[in-house]
């Protein structure tokens, strides 16, 4: 965190030909009010032309070297003149910094929640990270009228947050003659013939919801590159910071499975939910994105308990089970020893499926998605410049990956490494775990849903993007160099849909012949 902030300040000073103090003020003015904690960070005295961000942050003791561990750095170590020769490395630079200034003790970024303006917000975020349920949910039905903090960006929007029996995805109460019990916008009686609209348009229409059980890729993790690209930086760059912060840096509203809003982070939005909704307008708002950053087959067993589905009262659902990387991805030095084994994968997934069988209405479907082959990441990015390195052409993804690995916070030590053997071994384990999922889909039977398997469509996505004139690196999130980008998410939806249409048409349900009539009535009533 410190290296990132100091890098941006230094580059702002360079780009605008200003002092460090002026650059820091500029950055503070870009950031929305309560998030201006950088004002409390006394970095100005330490930053000068001799010191890169690594030196500053080690001097502040925000970056430290544990005994027996390497000294982690993002930038090439500075070369400082001394006694007629260059003395390379951080050690000299740190000693030099210490001689020049007395370094005061520093509170650290980990204590940002101690700031009064952020304390309340931090408590809310801790709650939703712990429970994976909407913070603003007055009737306790697990649906909300508030967008972030696990609200309707993650689950269909509640249309009555004072009534626990009203929520997206339920079967209509008495055909919704008097009110909209399932929040799909269809209720009341047609005055021409006295038939309830819900009965007329949705009876026998195979209405069903879509649920994602996933990880940060499914939640659609994204750090906007404009937050650290000083040549494009402005007040507008940080306008989405409060929303991103309260959505855990995830953007489920644009995601591959449950996206429903037009993307504001590049690319376009296409999702399984939107396609199911176009196929049957009665499916409106019936979505749940139950994903978390770091989600794996193991911790999904806890996460799955936040599912909102009543076996007796609700419509069936299509559940996508997609933990595409974290069972082989970790930041440990001995990364192979910390990967999920095939035996553990089998146990975790079968437990999850048994839980789903006790919760999903009869007639539901489950699709198990295989793990990705993450060698694509290194191959596509390692020699390209990261957004932080584009101004001075001094930081490649190879350097970023090494820095994160040194800090033991790499999202995936097995794939984000120059060690080709380790990358291959990681992909080998991912394939073994995918084969476990494939075998489960072939052999296991459950009372309330059928079960299917599909490979993660990375190869087909890359081929499709190539045909459109795109480059492989554009399919990867630029800041973290790890997650699928908005373009990859949208293309993945199209490929998954085509596969389902051809191989499992029963999963998608039939086309609702009344879609046009429903939309026409909505138009007549001003969209209400």
Could you give the residue numbers annotated as active site?
Answer: 216
Contact (CB, 8 A) for 47 and 10? yes
Distance separating alpha carbons of residues 447 and 431, to the nearest angstrom? 28
Q: In what order do the strands lie in the sheet with 317-322?
A: 287-291, 209-214, 317-322, 364-369, 449-454
* SS3 per-residue string spanning 85-139: EEEECHHHHHHHHHHHCCCCCCCCHHHHHHCHHHHHHHHHHHHHHHHCCCCCCCC
Strands 364-369 and 287-291 turn out to be: unpaired
DSSP annotation of 304 reads: G
Instruction: Determine the 3-state secondary structure of 522 from DSSP.
Output: helix
Contact (CB, 8 A) for 446 and 454? no
* SS3 per-residue string spanning 241-291: HHHHHHCCCECHHHCCCCCCCCCCCCCCCCCHHHHHHHHCHHHCCCEEEEE
DSSP annotation of 230 reads: G
Torsion over CA: 132, 135, 137, 138 (sign):
positive
Q: What is the largest CA-CA distance in the chain?
A: 97
Distance separating alpha carbons of residues 513 and 507, to the nearest angstrom? 18
φ/ψ of residue 420, rounded to 5:
-65, -35
Q: Taking each helix axis from N to C terminus, what angle separates 2-15 and 20-30, rounded to the nearest 10 degrees? A: 110
Burial tier of 83 (Cβ tally within 10 Å: 0-12, 13-18, 19+): exposed
Distance separating alpha carbons of residues 66 and 145, to the nearest angstrom? 47
The residues facing 366 across adjacent strands are 319, 451
Catalogue the E-assigned strands of 201-248.
209-214
H or E segment and range at residue 82: strand 79-82
Contact (CB, 8 A) for 213 and 254? no
Strands 79-82 and 85-88 turn out to be: antiparallel
């Amino acid at each position: 965190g410190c290296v990132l902030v100091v890098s941006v300040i230094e580059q702002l000073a360079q780009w605008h030909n200003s002092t460090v103090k002026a650059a820091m003020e500029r950055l503070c003015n870009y950031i929305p009010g309560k998030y201006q904690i950088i004002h409390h960070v006394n970095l100005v005295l330490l930053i000068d032309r001799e010191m890169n961000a690594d030196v500053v942050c080690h001097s502040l003791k925000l970056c430290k070297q544990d005994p027996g561990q390497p000294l982690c750095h993002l930038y090439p170590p500075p070369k400082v003149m001394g006694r007629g020769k260059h003395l390379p490395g951080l050690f000299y630079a740190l000693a030099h910094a210490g001689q020049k200034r007395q370094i005061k003790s520093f509170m650290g970024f980990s204590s940002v929640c101690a700031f009064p303006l952020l304390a309340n917000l931090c408590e809310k975020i801790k709650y939703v990270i712990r429970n994976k349920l909407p913070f603003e949910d007055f009737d306790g039905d697990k649906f909300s009228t508030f967008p972030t903090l696990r609200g309707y960006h993650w689950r269909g929007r509640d249309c009555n947050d004072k009534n626990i029996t009203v929520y997206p995805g339920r079967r209509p109460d008495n055909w919704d003659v008097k009110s909209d019990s399932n929040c799909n916008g269809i209720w009341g009686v047609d005055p021409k013939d006295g038939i309830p609209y819900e009965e007329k348009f949705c009876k026998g229409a195979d209405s069903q919801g879509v649920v994602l059980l996933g990880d940060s890729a499914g939640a659609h993790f994204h750090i906007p590159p404009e937050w650290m690209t000083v040549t494009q930086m402005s007040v507008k760059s940080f306008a989405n910071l409060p929303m991103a912060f309260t959505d855990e840096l995830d953007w489920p509203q644009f995601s591959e499975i449950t996206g429903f809003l037009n993307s504001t982070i590049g690319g376009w939005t296409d999702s399984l939910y939107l396609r199911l909704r176009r196929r049957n307008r009665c499916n409106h708002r019936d979505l749940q994105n139950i994903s978390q950053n770091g989600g794996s087959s193991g911790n999904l067993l806890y996460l799955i308990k936040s599912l909102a589905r009543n076996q007796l009262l609700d419509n069936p659902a299509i559940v996508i089970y997609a933990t595409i990387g974290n069972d082989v991805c970790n930041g440990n030095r001995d990364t192979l020893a910390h990967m999920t084994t095939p035996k553990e994968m089998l146990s975790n997934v079968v437990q999850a499926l048994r839980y789903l069988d006790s919760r999903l209405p009869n007639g539901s479907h489950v699709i198990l998605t295989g793990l990705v082959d993450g060698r694509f990441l290194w191959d596509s990015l390692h020699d390209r410049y990261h957004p932080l390195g584009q101004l001075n052409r001094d930081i490649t993804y190879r350097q970023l990956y090494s820095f994160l690995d040194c800090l033991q916070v790499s999202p995936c030590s097995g794939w984000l490494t120059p060690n080709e053997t380790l990358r291959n071994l990681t992909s080998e384990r991912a394939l073994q775990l995918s084969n476990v999922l494939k075998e489960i889909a072939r052999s296991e039977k459950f009372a309330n849903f059928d079960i299917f398997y599909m490979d993660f469509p990375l190869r087909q996505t890359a081929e499709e993007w190539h045909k459109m004139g795109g480059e492989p690196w554009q399919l990867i999130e630029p800041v973290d160099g790890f997650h699928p980008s908005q373009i990859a998410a949208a293309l993945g939806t199209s490929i998954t849909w085509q596969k389902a249409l051809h191989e499992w048409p029963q999963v998608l349900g039939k086309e609702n012949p009344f879609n046009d009539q429903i939309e026409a009535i909505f138009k007549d009533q001003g969209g209400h």
